[in-house]
Structure 1
Amino acid sequence: MTVTALNSMERIGQDQKPFGAASVEIGCARNEVESFQVVVAAPAENITVTKVEISDLAGLNGSRIGKDNVTFFREEYVRVRISTPRAELPPGLYPDPLVRSSIP
């Protein structure tokens, strides 16, 4: 099993090898919202994520964002059955909608 972090603009397909980093850096101003992704992959086996934990987020200058201000979403896949003639991607499953996670 591998766990990696990605910025919010990256996409990983179900058949792609996971990529990313061991940590993530984000930046935003007061009252802004920023996102990032955590990828959990186990290509050789089926797994079920049953629990997710996070600590407070800490800034380099000592600032903190409490873990109660973090919301988890899980990614779902959309099946594209027919691509348009000018589409670069073939039909298949593509990561897109984010659904609020019910995992505590």
Structure 2
Amino acid sequence: MDWATIFRALGHPHRLALFRQLLEGPGEGSCCEAVAPGENACCVVDFTRRLPLAQSTISHHLQVLVAAGLVTVESRGPYSVYRLHEPTLEAFKAYVAQLRSCRTSASGPPVACWPEG
């Protein structure tokens, strides 16, 4: 997994907002007709209702999340349906959970110690 690409993808406030919206799931009746009730997915049109961004901007940011492996996209008629890629999400959560504080020296300030990979 390319952790730097994932962190870069989430490092933009708009992409982080889109990612969080997918984590939280769609609100009741807030998704396009291509998304079944209870399905944890959204269309671009759903995001345009929630965020003050142009559809083209949202599509661009979603494509960056797709390229990073965090999100998948599926065509359903005229709609593109986006959902979290669960295996990548679980691997990312496990990677971040390994983060711990460590010191460069006994008197130095703590620095982040990242797991290998």
Q: TM-score, normalised by structure 2?
A: 0.27
Structure with higher Rg: it is: 2
Q: Which has the higher strand share?
A: 1
Q: TM-score, normalised by structure 1?
A: 0.30
Q: Which has the higher contact order (CA 8 A, sep 6+)?
A: 1
Q: Which has the higher helix share?
A: 2
